[in-house]
Structure 1
Amino acid sequence: MLRRWYCHRFVSTARLYTSSLCAQRKCFSTSTHCRFHATAVDEAEVAPLRKQLKDAARASRHQQVSDTNGKDQLRRERLKDWELTVGIEIHAQLNTSSKLFSRASADWTDVPNAALWPFDMAVPGSQPLFQPPVLIPALRAAIALDCDIRPRSKFDRKHYFYHDQPAGYQITQYYEPFAVNGRVTLTQQDGLAPEEGTLHIGIKQVQLEQDTARTQQHDEETSLIDFNRSGHALVEIISLPQLHSPQAAAAYVRKVQSILYAVDAATTGMELGGLRADVNVSVRRFDGATGNHSYSGVTGLGQRTEIKNLSSFKSVEDAVCAERDRQIDILEAGGKIEGETRGWSLSNPGATRRLRGKEGEVDYRYMPDPDILPLHIDNDLVAHFRSTLPPVPDQLLDMLRLSYGLTADDAGALLNLDNGTRLLYYQDVVSRLTPSSNNNKTAFGVHVGNWILHELGALLTTTETEWHPDLIHAQQMSDLISLQLKGQLTGPSAKKLLRILFAGEKEPVSVIAERENLLFQSMNDQEYVELANRVIQDHPKEVEIVQKNSKQAQGKLKFLLGQMMRHGDRNRMEAQRAEKTLRSILMP
């Protein structure tokens, strides 16, 4: 039945093609078999159809690629006349046990409005009470971002009215923040394009401020407010407008998040809502005659717009790209950019949308908070944190390359995988292999990196398993690698043993290897000779070429060696001894 159905479809397709040919030749016959094509439908007739369909599909793909390349080329040509400038404000939740101005727990529960003190909901008569432990992760963050810590800072009120801010103002540090003049360095390893080189992005200031409540849309007419997040301690990290590409903007946010993670300053990253970014975007035309950038004939930055609450690195890159193109379209059409706040939706990722007019300093009516005393930070405290700060990503990258011998790609992968837990696991395995009297980690670093990143990483990918250090205990992994380095496990046997451990086997590696007959037991000389003679007998032509020492001799010798490895017991064979045996017989 299947064959009949297939043949029917096969013939029908051929007839449709024949009819189309008749139409092209002005044939008005209603019969498929007209005088131009009065032949049976056979393979000779079907073959051109198949080829034509394949050629058409191939041409379509080439056309799509050509169109895309053409559009990209037009975009690149267009962007030569414009410079993009981006400044970014990052809001990161600090890793604290209490909120900024109340003793309410910062460890939220799933129960809405359960982690609250009166001040978090602006109950009349309640007063802010600064929580000193909040300063610890804040200082870690600012020092890791290479900021100057000011000995005296103050809190201000930023007024706006929205249902997630019950007091009608947010407490922040606008005029006198606790940290200023920081810097983040970006390289190609961080995701920059090669032509961008190395970028040093200035940080204007880092300030403490309150987080807002969370809004949940219940239905079209009802919003629910959860105040558990209200009052949580944030740091706002404000960059200078020194980013000039969407890729650099995303790389900057990613780098800041990795720094905050490294020094244990932030709770979670963008993926869990613990870090959010507001991007300020402007464009200005490049004046080819003078070599300067200008906006409306006046040197300086263009009118900026702000895109709020971006929650992923991809959103940062895509939103900047979309807003850049929108502004260029308006300016090239003779329009004017309005200062406004815009939004970005993952459900409509093609363009930004207007939310409201852009508020300025006057709109927010900043004023010193009369209920909170200035914050004084002792220089000795700052010095203590500088001396005890964990290494930041750039320092870790250098350490992995210089001390462990890893490539930049492998070192970067270890830094970025699994919030640093893969890196800790890697260092644990290396330390178990390195004798206490020997600090030379490069002897094992590359080998361990290959097993953890590539071999174990492949198993994680193919089985869609989430990484956890307890999947394979560090001691088991170090024992496996040790056996292979000692020559007691071949490559295939070691990979098989890794799969057994990955499946959950907790016994010692040596016990498993012996039970599964994986330990290497070398063949004796007589066994190598017998195997070599068997291969030589089966391949006389290749043997003749090798013995004549012609140009193809080396290739044929490798072929014969491959045959030995293929037909022998790979768990007992050594390639070097096999090749030595072959050479001794064929070229005595």
Structure 2
Amino acid sequence: MARISTKTLSRYLFQGQLPRRGCLSLWQAHSSIRPCPVASIPSARSLRQLRTDASLTQRDPAPVHVPLRKQLKDEAKKAKASGKKKTKNVDNQVVDGWELTVGIEIHAQLNTARKLFSAATTSFNDQPNSHVAYFDLATPGSQPIFQKETLIPALRAALALNCDIQPVSRFDRKHYFHWDQPSGYQITQFYEPFARNGRIMLQPRDGIAAEDGDGISIGIKQVQMEQDTAKTMAQPGDVQWVDFNRTGVPLIEIITLPDIHHPATAAAFVRKVQILLNAVDSCVSGMEAGGLRADVNVSVRRSDDPSAPLGTRTEIKNLSSFKAVEDAIIAERDRQISILEAGGIIAGETRGWSIGSTETRRLRGKEGEVDYRYMPDPDLSPVIIGDDLVSHLRTAMGQLPDAEVDELIQEFGITSKDALSLVALDGGNRIEYFWNVVDALSARLGFDSPETLACYQLAANWILHELGRLTASHQTDSAQPLEFTPEGQCERVPVKHLVDIVISLHQRKITAKVAKELLWVVYRGTIPREYASVREAIEKENMWFQELSEAEYEVLARSAVEGQDDVVAQFVDCKQYPTGKLMFLVGRMMRLGPEEKIDPKNAESVMRRFLKTYVVELKSKPS
């Protein structure tokens, strides 16, 4: 069952020496005209003061960052105070008499060592302005130099999205003025992108709306490469700090066709794209870390005339979570329908969305298509992509998430929910850990035996659920993350230790309670050094499961029902025992006896048999 990880393969492509760090200090751009101290570099001119007048820009200043958890808490408090109750989204996918149409644009940061057109290193959470080249600042005389290695993750992404790779693509200039774009234009691929005509299939297990039935195919118009802008950080007193580390970081923009008609399906699409990009090691991080952002275009029209043109669309910018995608679409759909039913007209405009909100807000108008004065970039040559490179990358991509989920469901009997979670968790690293456990179990027990298959399923359950409980806050104040590597290793819970625990538990040599205690000991690194393995620790510490005899079980069962005549009376003349009451009595057995010697299933069986005779005794007693 050997597998080649896509992430492992990618590390061997286009590796090179990282460029030297720059030495720029943090720059400030004030919103009023006054001198602004700027750090200088050799031969670089001072930047002019930039105004924040809204009439000069089409981009909004970045808001002060507020942690997502705090945003959700604050919005929940506001909603509770207002007394409004939100409709569950599952019941809010369709409005009778209206058809919703959604198109999505996704911007994803590519996983590259260098920027798109300069040798500066890509930087995340480093010292501001420490990774900046002359071209990133549009220094006069500097020229863009396309970094060929940035094309590799972009191609992997396009192939994962089932796109046709274009043999020739070109870069264009998109002109607009804002302080986060010092050149006055962004380099993108508007006319001739490197990939077109993609398609993604979504299934019910992906979380699509029930109205989309057994699945939906969503077309991708094109995928284009482009450069990111600088990062603006709002400060008190009308001051904006600008970090140019992000300028020129390579992005891909994924543009869909207007094939989406339900909010939940839109969110499922963005989630699926994130999973695919991560699986082929194209994207730096997901929405939760800011590495992927979504803009949605929303329009409505009456459903009684399918031939009518689509309604006027509005664009909701910079959605940062899957839930935000769904909630914002619902809110904007309802706003547009309300206006149209009142006889109004939908204005083409750009709108914003705040987490936990119930309404979108207007950012700026679009009285027509914005004239970005696109033009071919005269400083950049066409990008020629050979068929041999595309063929190599397609062959080396390995198994994509859908195929992996299908294998987990069909060959291992894992539920679709658990299979999807295994594939998505820890950036795909946890499923690699699972495959390593599978290989180790196969080596110990052999392939394809019923016992091995049962151990696979038990291992999947423990990797998904029990390992997650280790880092729960109630366990310890100093819980450490498990940190799975791309190769599927985990230093805190090595594969060999988990395999020992799973096999011992399945073979009923230890109880579930002992197994969980052993896992906790492994996680904390407190297994005595003289033990080479968990199996040896079980042996030396005499943790073997020594189950009670049948007679001892019956004694416990009788003790459990003593004084519980009211409960036992509910089993008289019952064709089917009430489950809740039965498990109540089994629970008493577990508490009264030595738990480490009791098998819950056997305890339940004994209790069922005991009740048959005990109920007869109870009925024969004089009233």
Using the size of structure 2 for normalisation, the TM-score is 0.73
Partner of 1:150: 166
Higher mean displacement: 396-405 or 561-570: 561-570
> Are 1:200 and 2:213 counterparts?
no
Counterpart check, 1:293 vs 2:279: no
Distance 1:439 1:554, change over 3 A: closer
Partner of 1:322: 331
The structure-2 alpha-carbon separation of the partners of 1:340 and 1:561, relative to structure 1 and needing over 3 Å to count, comes to closer
- Is 1:94–1:134's contact at 8 Å kept on the other side of the alignment? yes
Distance 2:555 2:438 in 1: 43
Given residue 110 of structure 1, which amino acid in structure 2 is its aligned partner? D
Q: Deviations over 1:140-163 (max 9, x none)?
A: 000000000011111111111111
Q: Does 1:370 pair with 2:378? A: yes
Which structure's relative contact order is higher, taking Cα pairs within 8 Å and 6+ residues apart? 2
Map of 1:463 onto structure 2? 474
Deviations 1:488-513 (A, max 9, x none): 11223223333333443244313443
Distance 1:577-1:397 versus aligned 2 partners, 3 A rule: closer
CA distance in 2, matches of 1:458, 1:259: 27
Write out aligned runs for 1:456-495 (5 A): 456-461=467-472, 463=474, 465=479, 466-468=481-483, 469-495=490-516
Q: Which moved more, 1:278-287 or 1:507-516?
A: 507-516
| Cross-structure match for 1:390 | 398
Is the CA contact 2:167–2:385 (under 8 Å) kept in the aligned structure 1?
A: yes
Look up the SS of the partner of 1:158 in the other structure. Answer: strand
The count of corresponding residues between Structure 1 and Structure 2 is 505
Shift of 1:275: 0.9
Please state whether the residue corresponding to 1:264 is helix, strand or coil: coil
How far, CA to CA, are the matches of 2:243 and 2:212 in structure 1? Answer: 43
Q: How far apart are 1:109 and its partner, in Å?
A: 5.4
Decide which of 178, 181, 203 is 1:162's aligned counterpart: 178
- The answer for the alignment partner of 1:351 in structure 2 is 360
Could you tell me which runs of 5 or more consecutive residues in structure 2 were left unpaired when the two chains were aligned: 1-79, 484-489, 614-623
How far apart are the structure 2 equivalents of 1:71 and 1:174?
35
Structure-to-structure mapping, 1:295-444, within 5 angstroms: 299-346=308-355, 350-357=359-366, 360=369, 363-435=371-443, 438=447, 442-444=453-455
1:332-388 CA-partner distances (Å, limit 9, x unpaired): 222211222222234855322222436626x01111111111110001111111111
For residues 499 and 207 of structure 2, the distance between their equivalents in structure 1, rounded to whole angstroms, comes to: 32
**Structure 2 residue matching 1:163: 3-state secondary structure:** coil
Alignment of 1:505-524 (within 5 A): 505-507=526-528, 508-514=533-539, 516-522=541-547
Q: Secondary structure of 2:245's partner?
A: coil
Task: Identify the range of structure 1 (330-339 vs 366-375) with the bigger mean alpha-carbon deviation.
Answer: 330-339
SS at structure 2 position matched to 1:307 = strand
Q: Tell me the distance in 2 between the aligned counterparts of 1:190 and 1:303.
A: 29
- The alignment's TM-score, normalised by the length of structure 1, stands at 0.77
Pick one of 238, 254, 271 that aligns with 2:271: 254
- Cα–Cα, structure 1 residues 576 and 143, in superposed 2: closer, same or farther, change >3 Å? same
Counterparts of 1:88 and 1:71, CA distance in 2? 19
Superposition RMSD in Å = 3.6
Among candidates 219, 224, 232, match of residue 215 of structure 1 = 232
Q: Aligned partners of 2:162, 2:331: CA distance in 1, in Å? A: 32
Aligned runs of 1:66-77 on 2, under 5 Å? Answer: none
**Secondary structure of residue in 2 paired with 1:85:** strand
Query: What is the DSSP-based 3-state SS (H/G/I as helix, E as strand, rest coil) of the residue aligned with 1:571?
Result: helix
Aligned partners of 1:109 and 1:115 also within 8 Å: no
Structure (1 or 2) with the larger CA radius of gyration? 1
CA distance 1:108–1:531, change in 2 (3 Å): closer
CA contact (8 A) 1:162 1:168 kept: yes
In the other structure, the counterpart of 1:237 is 254
Match of 1:128 in 2: 144
- Structure 1 residue 276 displacement after superposition: 0.9
Amino acid at match of 1:376: I
Work out the CA distance in 2 between the residues paired with 1:460 and 1:72.
31
Deviation at 1:421, TM superposition (A): 2.5
Equivalent-residue separation in structure 1 for 2:559 and 2:357 (angstroms):
69
CA distance in 2, matches of 1:347, 1:258: 24
- Contact persistence 1:519–1:571 (CA under 8 A): no
Paired AA for residue 445 in structure 1: Y
* 1:75-154 matches, cutoff 5 A: 79-108=95-124, 110-154=126-170
Contact 2:209 2:262 in 1 (8 A): no
Q: Which residue of 2 aligns with 1:265?
A: 282
Q: Which amino acid aligns with 1:485?
A: H
